[in-house]
Amino acid sequence: MSAILISGGAYAQDKTQENPQKIELDQSQKLISGWNDGLDDIDAALSDGEVSGRLLNESRAQVEKITEGSATLQSSAAERLNRLNAALGKLGEPPAEGQSEVPAVAAERSRLNDAIAEISGVIKQVELVDFRATEVSDHLARISRERFTRRILGRVDVPWDGETWGQVWSGAIELPDMVRSRYADLDLEGQIGDELAEVAPGLVLLAFIVMAALIGGEVAVLRWLPERWQHVPKEDRVSLISGTRFLFTAMVPGIALVIAYQIVNRQPDLLAGSMGDFIYQCFAALLFLLFVGAAIRSIYSPFLPGMRRAGTTATGARVVGLLSLLAAVIYASDLVLLQGATTLGTSLEIALVQSVSNVFLISVILFVCSLGVFWEHGEPDRHELWAKVERRSRRGLRIVAVLLPVLTLLGYVALARFILENLMTGLAFITSYWLLRGYARALVHTYLVKPSSPDDDGASDAVHGTLYFWLRVTIDVVMFSVAVPLAVLIFTDIAWADLLDAAEKAFIGIQVGGINFSLRAILIAILLFLAVLGVMRFFQRMLNTRVLPNTKLDEGLQHSVSAIFGYAGICLAVLLAISAAGMDLSNLAIIAGAISVGIGFGMQSIVSNFVSGLILLIERPIKVGDWIVVGADQGLVKDIRVRATEIETFDRSSVVIPNSELISNRVMNWTLKDRSGRGIIRIGVSYGSDANKVREILLEIADKRREILSYPAPQVVFMDFGASSLDFELRYFLRDIGDVLSVGSAVRFEILERFRAEGVEIPFPQQDVHFRDIDRLADAIRDAGRGNAKPVIEAKDEVPEANAETGDGEGTDPATPPSTAKDENRDRDAAARSIPDAGGDADGDGPR
């Protein structure tokens, strides 16, 4: 009975598992069959010949739905297939030939294999559908490009005769009668009336919002906003006022118009046929006028010169602003009238004459607006970026204004219209982007960055400047990321679904060779890197401020521990970011090999400095705060970085020394083991001073200084008998070698004061000059002044005898000092010798 119950329960469970799977497979087959039928219909429609624009749009939308559905079905089928393969793997390998298997396991293996085969078949069918959809989409894109090329580069004969223009004028007069006759019998009581009644309240509410935003925005700009921001700097105040005006008079009404169109578009009968295209063009023209009008008022501000943001003169602001508004009105009217003529089925001549006229009018307006007479720039800002952009833009407008009529005269009316449409739309888009960007920056600078009180110190200004820089970067990145997709949608034929699909593929991943580039993985890697780095920096800061200061480690070791922790945090953040980006860490070996090649060719010094920095942090031959001497440089170590070490000299200048020099060269470290060190003061006293008294004075002075250690005790060393003094040295040890200059100076002041009080003389080098025969020299000078010159020393005949006496040391006056006798003998010898004349005048400069 137990076996029967268990087998019955297992059978019921198998049925419950198989039935949903069969139902899903049946639904999948129906979906695949429907998609194939739809693709067949599109192929048949495209092969009939002439393809209308509506058919292209509808076919493209259908292909997009098929592509999205096939991707969803393929994803769910692949998930189911993975689960089935996992379940089959739990059963193990199938038995070898000739071996048996448990019947229940064999049945389950057979069921899983059947299910896997069915799911694999569905996946292959979906892949085939996706392949066909891709081919149909490429065919549609090719047809669209060909139609676009033919339409843009098509040439027509422009009618210039008066008869044709008269017929066009007559046809334009009859347009109201054509509209009245065509829509006179429009039944508003049936389905269309019900749909209008359903959307009427929402349209009325949105119309009220549009009017309130337009009126309220102008009132706020004219009355309330200037007073509200009168203390804000002028640049920010103008950006805030113009941005608020643009927001209320363009963005809010524009969003309301888009919502109104979506409400009308949801009704199937209101926008059916060519009338729907006409209503769509009316909404587009009105939206264009809203944005252009608001931009003109915000930039040129014709009637509020203080709010003007363009570099025009006062007259130029009114002329350029009003002409730009006139060009926008002409362009919007051209769009509406051209679509209306197409809807009513008027003649080609009317549309052609209308296009030619509007192109000429707008070209003239653009040429006038670009003239330099309406623009001005002072000398200080003539070379600034926006001034250059403005001048080049005006030069480009003049070129376009001349080019468009030339193209029209040559018959390329469609090309001229295409250039004009993109130019007008591009100017409106760029202007809107510029206004909103300036508005966001001004809001951030006014309410988030500026100090809340005027008492903020100067240090906060640097913080505010850095914060404002990064906030501006964030604003630019966000706005650029939003503007690029919008520009793609506006200026290209890419549908919103295609854009989302491309963004999704880029976000999920793009396979290039063996590498998968995924925007999502890259963003996750960046965020993970920043998060891990921020957490590690937080812990490093806690380590520096709360943990290490409470330990018994010295300051240098604390810095080494903090630096190593920081480097480890950076390495961990990099590794986690690389792993999150989807890169295989085993590939780092290849990267390391490539880096090693680079090291061999030109990175030796960088790596040497890096390794030396690690050695400095680990061995700690120098630490932060040490007083070191490296060559001719000495100072305090301020920071030990990966590549170099910063030393602050006593002149407060910074010397950056590569770490490799600190490892390979000799370095004197005054504070490696401890802060104590020896100071020496050299002093000399006169020979008549009492040496013991000098020693007592010096020791007494040293003992009174608290900076000087008592052990080892100060000592006075009698160094030598100098030429003019008795030389002593006072040697002592300081608690902190950094005080060696201040303590030495103070001790010298006290020594000088004590020596003067005790009568101890500090000698200085002296020399005595003795003049021999001063009386004879005075007489010779006196006779030379009277004109009776005679030799001061007369030659004597006894020179040999004198020399002989001098040589024997005899015949000299015993009272005469030996040095004096030597001088007399030398003078006598010089007088006895005859010095030959070197030539020239005797009174000249030649030696004699």
Is the predicted pLDDT of residue 80 greater than 80, yes or no?
yes
Statement to judge: residues 479 and 459 lie in one domain? yes
Of 358, 305, 303, nearest in space to 329 by CA:
358
Statement to judge: residues 341 and 328 lie in one domain? yes
Residue 738 falls within a domain, yes or no? yes
- The enclosing domain of 749 has a CATH number of 3.30.70.100
Statement to judge: residues 440 and 399 lie in one domain? yes
Is the predicted pLDDT of residue 518 greater than 60, yes or no?
yes
- Give pLDDT, residue 377: 57
The pTM score is 0.56
Each as own residue / partner, the long-range contacts of residues 471-479 (CB below 8 Å, 24 or more positions apart, any chain) are 471/444, 472/441, 472/444, 475/437, 475/440, 475/441, 475/444, 476/437, 479/433, 479/436, 479/437, 479/440
pLDDT top residue among 487 and 829: 487
In which band, very low, low, confident or very high, does the pLDDT at 600 lie, cut at 50, 70 and 90? low
- Give pLDDT, residue 598: 62
Cα–Cα distances (Å) from 404 to 274, 412, 424, 428, in that order, read 29, 9, 13, 19
Statement to judge: residues 296 and 316 lie in one domain? yes
Residue 414 falls within a domain, yes or no? yes
- Give pLDDT, residue 806: 41
In which band, very low, low, confident or very high, does the pLDDT at 821 lie, cut at 50, 70 and 90? very low
Q: With pLDDT > 90 as the criterion, what percentage of the chain qualifies?
A: 8
- Give pLDDT, residue 715: 92
What is the amino acid identity at position 375? W
What is the amino acid identity at position 39? L
- Give pLDDT, residue 699: 92
- Give pLDDT, residue 582: 67
Statement to judge: residues 422 and 463 lie in one domain? no
Is the predicted pLDDT of residue 337 greater than 80, yes or no?
no
Statement to judge: residues 485 and 446 lie in one domain? no
Contacts of 421 by beta carbon, 8 Å cutoff, 6+ apart:
331
**Residues of the chain by 3-state class (helix, strand, coil), percent to 5:** 70, 5, 25
pLDDT in tens, 519-566: 677 778 888 888 888 888 888 888 888 888 887 776 666 777 787 788
Residue 667 falls within a domain, yes or no? no
Strand 627-630 with 633-640, pairing: antiparallel
Mean pLDDT of the chain: 76
The domain of 808 spans 791-832
Statement to judge: residues 266 and 132 lie in one domain? no
- Give pLDDT, residue 700: 92
- Give pLDDT, residue 717: 94
Residue 37 falls within a domain, yes or no? yes
Is the predicted pLDDT of residue 159 greater than 60, yes or no?
yes
DSSP string across 279-324: HHHHHHHHHHHHHHHHHHHHHT-TT-GGG--SSB-HHHHHHHHHHH
Statement to judge: residues 464 and 332 lie in one domain? no
Are the C-beta atoms of 760 and 693 separated by less than 8 Å?
yes
pLDDT in tens, 573-592: 888 887 777 666 666 666 66
Statement to judge: residues 308 and 412 lie in one domain? yes
Cα–Cα distances (Å) from 428 to 293, 296, 766, 806, in that order, read 10, 10, 94, 117
Is the predicted pLDDT of residue 684 greater than 80, yes or no?
yes
- Give pLDDT, residue 188: 55
Residue 207 falls within a domain, yes or no? yes
Residue 213 falls within a domain, yes or no? yes
Statement to judge: residues 433 and 485 lie in one domain? no
- Domain count along the chain: 5
Statement to judge: residues 323 and 202 lie in one domain? yes
Is the predicted pLDDT of residue 688 greater than 80, yes or no?
yes
**From CA 254, how far away is CA 288, in angstroms rounded?**
9
pLDDT in tens, 345-392: 666 667 777 788 888 999 999 999 888 888 875 544 544 666 777 788
Is the predicted pLDDT of residue 682 greater than 90, yes or no?
yes
Q: Which of 385-394, 397-406, 835-844 has the lowest mean pLDDT?
A: 835-844
Q: Which of the given ranges, 69-73, 478-482, 631-635, 699-703, has the highest pLDDT on average?
A: 699-703
Is the predicted pLDDT of residue 503 greater than 60, yes or no?
yes
pLDDT top residue among 239 and 7: 239
Statement to judge: residues 271 and 345 lie in one domain? yes
CA dihedral 455, 456, 458, 461 (to 10 degrees): -130
Residue 553 falls within a domain, yes or no? no
pLDDT in tens, 23-56: 577 788 888 888 888 888 888 887 776 666 667 7
- Give pLDDT, residue 167: 65
Q: What is the mean pLDDT of residues 790-809?
A: 45
Length of the chain: 848
In which band, very low, low, confident or very high, does the pLDDT at 452 lie, cut at 50, 70 and 90? very low
Beta bridge partners of 720: 727
> What counts of helices (H) and strands (E) characterise the chain?
26, 10
Are the C-beta atoms of 291 and 428 separated by less than 8 Å?
yes
Of 643, 592, 635, nearest in space to 617 by CA:
643
Residue 845 falls within a domain, yes or no? no
